[in-house]
Chains A and B, each alone.
Chain A
Amino acid sequence: MKPGSRLKSAACSSEVVVIKYSGGTIECGGLPMAEDAAGDGSPAAGFAEGTMMGKRYIDAAATVELLCVKPGKGSLSLDGVALTTKDAKPLPASD
């Protein structure tokens, strides 16, 4: 999985762009994401928190980083473990 790859959810309308990847299965709504996933399924229980546009998602060890470019009802996980959001450190609009 190369940085820049765009993955779609099989469970909802979510789409992410891969910023960083070093292994494992990236899932949304509990189902593996893929470049050509149809998004017509529904999120599994426990993976239905939703994704937020423009948020970055990482695992605890920061081996994976995803940018949500289209929101949906499913939530993101890596090998079954939920990802968490990583906040930007906003500058006071410096440019």
Chain B
Amino acid sequence: MNIALLLEMAAGAAPDRIALVCDGKRWSYAELWQAAQGAAELIRASGASHVALLDESSEAALIALFGAGLAGVPYCPLNYRLADADLGALLGRIAPAVVVGDVARVQRLADGQGHVPYPRSEFTLAALEAVASPDAEHDSGEGIAIQLFTSGTTAAPKAAILAHSNLVSYILGTVEFAAAEEHEATLVSVPPYHIAGIAALASSIYAQRRIVLLPAFAPEDWLKLVEAERVTNAFVVPTMLGRIIHALEKGVRADIASLQAVAYGGGKMPLELIGQALDRFPDCAFTNAYGLTETSSTVALLGPDEHRAAHAASDPVVRARLASVGKPLPTIELEIRGEDGKVLPTGQVGEIYVRGDQVSGQYRERSALDADGWFPTRDAGYLDADGYLFLAGRADDVIVRGGENISPGEIEDLLLTHPAIADCAAVAVPSLEWGEAVGLAVVVRGGCETPAEQELKEMVRARLRSSRVPEVVRFVPSLPYNEMGKLLRREVKGLLAR
């Protein structure tokens, strides 16, 4: 089934209802559906093999997504923050493409590759004006809906592909059609090239929850928009939540009483921060969503009641769940496997495997699925006795010291309880004796005295075990993160190698 049917249904059921708000402009479901059909005409006529977005979020992202779907061409939103050389390489991998957004950059980096570039406003206008022939043969939706280049924090970007059927089964399995009430609005501030941004568009369209776009995140603007649009729902990455709370603490004023639910994901949520958020917004429903590009977004989540129960609990097991990503969705299967491929018992760290209709696990170049359709996420984690999933970093980030697997997370979580440590990262450093050993980069909290190296080593030795004691400790002003709040461990290794 073609993903564009999600928009067609919404437009059929509520043509005049407002679907999307961006830069003060309001779009109804009928207008967006008309534009998507027009965009499909433009895309078909261009002969392009992909439809790329090289732009911040706007209505054009939604029109391009569904227009590409109708035309049967993969939609490929690109990270406009990439350096020229990296972006040029990606453009070369999707040529010839209809590219919406930064025309000058396309011409500068990928001239002569046959791309058809459109500035955002021209694309939207042309899509609205292109008259869709009434007997246009829309694509049946058996192929690829989306191609996303993974963020490549550990290697060169891979081209992950999602079939129409992956995304549709995710939406149909988790969203009730037209379930949102007319006053509901969701604030989307994640970039359009992130799977969370795409899933937010598709699920909000199907639920008929008004989408409010914030193309460039700034905490003051986010708060202003919540007030102005009476926003009820929002998705943020942890860094954004931290900045929002910080802005409120600094005295930024906004009436955000309309806000009922905040979902977060995309990076590790510091325990202290979610605790602050729960205290500051006592009536807000928090949801932690864990998912990957290759799984069409969410595969596990910690719901609002579980957040409150964990936050209020005195039982340490229940309390610990605030640091979990909750339970797997009922529509997917999830296993923790060891290096030998065998399923591990409760509590043991291994690699997270998932299977289900929403799971693609396909790249342009190859399939990552095993013979039985399981997808190895390359994320490390474990399940507790009640089935809550805890993440333990990327499987590639595991430090192998003399044959012993060490998860960076356990060391980092411990050290973050030190009052003078604002942030820290544990990575593998080369060791003559052990092959790899623990290296530690530490950011000291403002106004605190730098703790002695020996003190930190002793803390690890006492609370964990001697193999976890860092061999190298370096104090740094800040740690490198990408714009989604993902720690760039490769760069941390670079910091420690110096």
Interface residues on B, range: 35 or more
Number of A residues near B (Cβ < 8 Å) is 22
**Shortest distance from the beta carbon of B492 to any chain A beta carbon, whole Å:** 29
Q: Does A36 contact B (CB under 8 A)?
A: no
**CB atoms of B178 and A4 under 8 A apart:** no
Is B289's CB under 8 angstroms from A56's CB? no
Within 8 A of B (CB), among A42-95: 53-56, 67, 69-70, 87-95
Among B4-12, B127-135, B365-373, B478-486, the stretch in contact with A: B4-12
CA distance A95 to B199 in the complex (A): 6
Q: Is the CB of A54 within 8 A of B186?
A: no
Q: CA–CA, A54 to B209, complex, Å?
A: 15
In the bound complex, what is the Cα–Cα distance between A93 and B142 (angstroms)? 27
Count A-B pairs with CB separation below 8 Å: 92
Cα separation A56 to B173 with both chains bound (whole Å): 10
**Is B407 part of the binding interface, using a Cβ–Cβ cutoff of 8 Å?**
no
CA A26 to CA B2, docked complex, whole Å:
21
> What is the bound-complex CA distance between A78 and B263, given in angstroms?
40
Give every chain B residue within 8 A of A19 (Cβ-Cβ): 1, 172
Q: Which residue from B140, B165, B287, B297 sits with its C-beta under 8 Å from A93?
A: B287
Bound complex: CA A70 to CA B9 (Å): 8
Contact A95 to B5, CB < 8 A, known contacts A54-B176, A54-B178, A90-B179: no
Contacting pair B5 A69 (CB below 8 A): yes
Cβ-defined contact, A4 with B141, below 8 A: yes
Q: Closest residue of chain A to B262, judged by CB?
A: A93
Q: Which of B153-161, B217-225, B298-306 contacts A (4 or more CB under 8 A)?
A: B298-306
CB distance from A46 to the nearest CB of B (A): 26
Choose one: B1, B206, B289; the contact of A94 (CB below 8 Å): B289
B233 contacts across to A, CB distance below 8 A: 93
Q: Is the CB of A92 within 8 A of B203?
A: no
What is the CB-to-nearest-CB distance from B279 to chain A, in angstroms, rounded to a whole number?
Answer: 20
Bound state CA distance, A58 and B439, in angstroms?
55
Tell me, rounded to whole Å, the shortest Cβ–Cβ distance linking B15 to chain A. 13
B286 to chain A, nearest CB (A): 9
| Residues of B near any A CB (own CB < 8 A) | 1-2, 5, 8-9, 12-13, 140-142, 164-165, 172-179, 186, 196, 199-200, 203, 206-207, 209, 233, 235, 261, 263, 265, 285, 287, 289, 297-298, 301, 303-304, 329-331
* 13 A-B pairs with C-beta separation under 8 A: A3-B142, A4-B1, A19-B1, A53-B177, A54-B177, A67-B1, A88-B172, A88-B173, A90-B175, A93-B207, A93-B209, A93-B287, A94-B289
* Other A-B pairs, 14, CB within 8 Å; known A19-B1, A91-B287, A92-B303: A4-B2, A54-B13, A54-B176, A67-B172, A69-B5, A87-B176, A89-B330, A91-B174, A91-B175, A93-B203, A93-B287, A94-B174, A94-B297, A95-B196
Interface residues of A (CB under 8 A from B): 2-5, 17, 19, 53-56, 67, 69-70, 87-95
